[in-house]
Amino acid sequence: MKDHTKKILIIHGPNLNLLGKREPHIYGSMTLEDINKQLCERAEILGVSIEVIQTNHEGVMIDTIHNAEGQYDCIIINAAAFTHYSIAVRDALAGITVPAIEVHLSNIHKREEFRHKSVIASVVIGQISGFGAHSYILALEGAAKLIKQEA
């Protein structure tokens, strides 16, 4: 039987389009385009296919999560500020069967207290936080391993 290529959806949340210019002492100097390029290269090596979306809008993020059902094998999500308060994003992730991995460039637990709480943490497989742009690569490796185990 032909093995279909596993598909991973990467969702970048609000303000991540500003990476490179935005608080580089916290988020580093790589742009979102640089990060996406690295992800594409690593996906190729891992033998998985990726699609990437960035949105500044909570509703678009929720629709994107809903539409992932049946289309993707795993989601990697940096919900950015929505992480800390969007019960709607949390419920969207809880409402689909696609497993998700939570990613943050910075270590949210070392920062302001309002960032310590992730409302999505309880509905994802795991959280990777604090490795800068490499957090995404670690998540991609985790996702590839996860979906190969499920195959």
Q: How far is the CB of 78 from ligand DQA (least distance, A)?
A: 5
- Determine whether 25 is an active site residue: no
- Phi first, then psi, for residue 103 (nearest 5°) are -130, 140
In terms of Cβ atoms closer than 10 Å to its own Cβ (0-12, 13-18, 19+), residue 76 is buried
80 is an interface residue for ligand DQA by CB under 6 A: yes
147 is an interface residue for ligand DQA by CB under 6 A: no
- Determine whether 104 is an active site residue: yes
Distance CA 67, CA 18 (A): 25
78 is an interface residue for ligand DQA by CB under 6 A: yes
Are 76 and 11 in contact by the 8 Å Cβ rule? The answer is yes
Q: How far is the CB of 46 from ligand DQA (least distance, A)?
A: 22
The correct pick among 9, 108, 119, 143 for binding ligand DQA (CB under 6 A) is 108
101 is an interface residue for ligand DQA by CB under 6 A: no
Q: Which residue is nearest to ligand DQA (CB)?
A: 80
Within 18-77, the residues that bind ligand DQA by CB under 6 A are none
125 is an interface residue for ligand DQA by CB under 6 A: no
Q: With respect to ligand DQA, which residue has the nearer C-beta, 16 or 46?
A: 16
Q: Letter for the amino acid at 92?
A: A
128 is an interface residue for ligand DQA by CB under 6 A: no
Sheet with 74-78, side-by-side order of all strands:
49-54, 7-12, 74-78, 100-104, 126-129
Distance CA 80, CA 102 (A): 10
Q: Which residues are catalytic?
A: 27, 104
